[in-house]
């Protein structure tokens, strides 16, 4: 039987019947539904429909991967956004031409993206191609993607971000907020400098969930499989700033949504702002800054985990996000044990 799925402004139609499978992407729902009807009729007439379908491009493979796995795999906003960007950039490349050389050229063309971001994009592309190959028998050379990863690592195109070892300070974050050219970016940086949120979580704050059942200010946490089970988080007063008032002001200004755009838009805005101020950091570094400051100020680890979404995983909180330098370690030891 046929199925429809809307993602990134397009409709993906899939037909599975009598052991046969085919899919295509359309700009309108009506065209997608008409194709499903015609394809099912062809199968009933005994016409052979190959699993891969007539089109064999990167876009077709991504569409098939989304249709097959979006409901069964961890599918956060970041994955959806990244796959949409990949589709726009190399979607027209035939699968037979997705060689190591072609992938390396794509990575080199990624202006404004650091090694860690390039690595993330390549990981999502590889997962999509592998999933499409396994589920739909598409002609994907997964070995070429793995070879591209090895070569790109050696060339320094992908890897851990070098800038993330330099921790941004609260003062620098607030300086950046003050220098923002629009209120949306200013308020977003301010919020992320006070709470250890993923940006996608903050962007999902909405008007109907301003207050919890007990009357305390709360906000919806994005439905992220990596986050905690709780759907809401409190908005406390930190450093004299009422975060609930900040979020409500943004909600009122945005007509129901605190921030109207997607994660990638604000990530690039903040990255450009940081570059203008000479800060070699990304928006995500604000999260590490807050976690580190909370731990250094003796905020209980369970509280840090509750806000950061690292429930049941202290190693992530302490190893990945806590960035305490040697001077801070010595100062803490002197204060507590110097006696």
Do 327 and 183 share a domain, yes or no? yes
Any idea what the Cα angle at residue 191 is, between residues 300 and 123, rounded to 5°? 85
Instruction: Tell me which of 167 and 131 has the higher pLDDT.
Output: 131
Q: Whole domain around residue 300: which residue ranges?
A: 165-337
Across-strand partners of 15? 2, 22
Instruction: Kindly report the average pLDDT of the chain as a whole number.
Output: 76
Task: Give the dihedral sign, CA 248/254/260/265.
Answer: negative
pLDDT digits (tens, 9 = 90+) for 220-248: 544 443 444 444 667 778 888 888 788 87
Do 200 and 284 share a domain, yes or no? yes
Q: Phi and psi for 23 in degrees, rounded to 5?
A: -150, 155
CA distance 121 to 127: 10
Do 145 and 268 share a domain, yes or no? no
Domain-terminating residue out of 140, 161, 182: 161
Do 70 and 206 share a domain, yes or no? no
Domain-terminating residue out of 161, 184, 215: 161
- Give Cβ neighbours of residue 11 (< 8 Å, ≥ 6 apart): 4, 5, 25, 26, 27, 28, 29, 31, 32
Instruction: Tell me which of 45 and 135 has the higher pLDDT.
Output: 135
Do 123 and 215 share a domain, yes or no? no
pLDDT digits (tens, 9 = 90+) for 149-166: 999 999 888 876 554 456
- Give Cβ neighbours of residue 244 (< 8 Å, ≥ 6 apart): 210, 217, 235
The pLDDT of residue 174? 94
Do 183 and 112 share a domain, yes or no? no
The pLDDT of residue 50? 46
CA distance 286 to 175: 13
Do 323 and 229 share a domain, yes or no? yes
Do 144 and 19 share a domain, yes or no? no
Do 227 and 282 share a domain, yes or no? yes
Do 175 and 220 share a domain, yes or no? yes
> Once rounded to an integer, what is the mean pLDDT over residues 47-53?
47
Do 321 and 183 share a domain, yes or no? yes
Do 154 and 172 share a domain, yes or no? no
> Once rounded to an integer, what is the mean pLDDT over residues 97-101?
90
The CATH number for 215's domain is 1.10.443.10
Domain-terminating residue out of 129, 161, 193: 161
CA distance 125 to 270: 25
Number of domains in the chain: 3
């Amino acid at each position: 039987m046929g199925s429809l799925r809307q993602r990134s402004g397009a409709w993906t139609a899939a037909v599975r019947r009598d052991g046969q499978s085919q899919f295509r992407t359309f700009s309108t729902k009506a065209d997608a539904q008409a194709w499903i009807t015609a394809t099912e009729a062809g199968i009933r007439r005994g016409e052979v429909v190959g699993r891969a379908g007539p089109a064999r491009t990167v876009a077709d493979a991504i569409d098939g991967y989304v249709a097959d796995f979006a409901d069964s795999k961890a599918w956060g906003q970041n994955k959806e956004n990244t796959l949409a960007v990949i589709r726009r950039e190399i979607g027209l490349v035939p699968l037979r031409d997705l060689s190591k050389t072609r992938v390396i050229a794509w990575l080199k063309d990624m202006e404004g993206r650091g090694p860690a971001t390039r690595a993330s994009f390549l990981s999502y592309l590889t997962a999509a191609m592998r999933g499409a190959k396994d589920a739909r028998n598409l002609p994907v050379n997964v070995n070429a993607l793995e070879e591209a990863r090895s070569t790109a690592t050696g060339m320094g195109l992908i890897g851990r971000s070098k800038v993330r070892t330099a921790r941004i300070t609260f003062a620098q974050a607030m300086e950046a907020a003050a220098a923002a050219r629009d209120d949306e970016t200013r308020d977003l940086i301010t919020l992320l400098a006070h709470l250890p949120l993923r940006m996608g979580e903050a962007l999902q704050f909405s008007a109907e969930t301003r207050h919890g059942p007990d009357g305390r200010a709360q906000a919806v946490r994005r439905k992220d499989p990596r986050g905690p089970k709780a759907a809401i988080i409190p908005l406390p007063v930190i450093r004299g700033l009422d975060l609930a008032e900040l979020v409500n002001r943004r909600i009122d200004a945005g007509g129901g949504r605190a921030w109207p755009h997607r994660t990638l838009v604000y990530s690039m805005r903040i990255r450009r702002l940081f570059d203008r101020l000479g800060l070699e950091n990304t928006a995500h570094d604000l999260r590490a800054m807050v976690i580190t400051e909370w731990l250094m100020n003796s905020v209980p680890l369970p509280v840090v985990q509750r806000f950061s979404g690292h429930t049941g995983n202290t190693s992530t909180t302490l190893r990945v996000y806590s960035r305490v330098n040697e001077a801070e370690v010595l100062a803490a030891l002197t204060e507590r044990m110097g006696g």
